[in-house]
A and B are shown apart, each in its own frame.
Chain A
Amino acid sequence: GAVVSQHPSWVICKSGTSVKIECRSLDFQATTMFWYRQFPKQSLMLMATSNEGSKATYEQGVEKDKFLINHASLTLSTLTVTSAHPEDSSFYICSARRVAGAPLDDEQFFGPGTRLTVL
């Protein structure tokens, strides 16, 4: 299957700093990528839909100024957590959509996730 990478796989930062997480589709072009957040022992919560060349669409309750998303190319989307605080500590997972002929046949591939710890 297709491969989606995330970098870094884990990061520890001080409160108040910004952290950038990259999501790359390695062997296909992805016009749409998704960013999820997962707290321990909980489900994945969709944060935003990242569209290449346009602004991201954020889910209700997600601060767009806090979680900046840039989808600058067909293989790269970045999530920047600005002025991170301990409550932002979480597991962040991206997925990339590979478009098929029919919408129901579209495939989504998940990255391995990034574990963020804010001290």
Chain B
Amino acid sequence: AQKITQTQPGMFVQEKEAVTLDCTYDTSDPSYGLFWYKQPSSGEMIFLIYQGSYDQQNATEGRYSLNFQKARKSANLVISASQLGDSAMYFCAMREVNTGNQFYFGTGTSLTVIP
């Protein structure tokens, strides 16, 4: 079974609008971390936001927030006030403590911000 599922291969959003990128995960490990990375065309993986499995509150980092629904096993990324520079691939990832902390990546969502 897929550890991380991203069901949106491509998304479009108008500049200055908010957009939600979906991510669901599958794990039986009670200790895990959820991450979102941005990958522009240059290829570098840019860390955006992190949510630990024991965190009570949703993580926020500037314009990025993570909508953590533990019972539903979802960790959607919300980008507010989209900017043209937000156009990139976005990957959701999970790290399980019991599997040596290796990352499992989703298939990614290509976001295009329209002026």
Measured CB to CB, the residues of A under 8 A from B are 1, 32, 34, 38, 41-46, 49, 91, 93, 95, 97, 103-104, 106, 108, 110, 112-113, 115
Contacts and interface: CB of A to CB of B under 8 A. Distances in A.
Contacts of B8: none
B28 to A, nearest CB: 16
Contact of B101 (A43, A44, A97): A97
A110 B44 contact: yes
A103 B108 contact: no
A38 to B, nearest CB: 8
Describe A's contact surface by its main secondary structure: strand
Chain A to chain B: the 10 pairs with minimum beta-carbon distance, closest first: A110-B45, A113-B43, A103-B97, A112-B44, A43-B105, A44-B105, A43-B107, A104-B31, A106-B101, A43-B108
Contacts of B31: 103-104
A42 B56 CA distance: 32
B43 A44 contact: no
Contact of B52 (A1, A104, A108): A104
13 contacts: A1-B47, A42-B107, A43-B107, A44-B91, A44-B103, A91-B43, A103-B31, A104-B31, A104-B33, A104-B53, A104-B97, A108-B95, A112-B44
Interface residues of B, number: 24
B62 interface: no
A49 B43 CA distance: 21
B14 interface: no
B106 A43 contact: yes
B103 A108 contact: yes
Interface string B87-100: 00001000101001
Nearest to A1: B47
Given A34-B102, A46-B103, A49-B100, A112 B43 contact: yes
Contacts of B42: 112
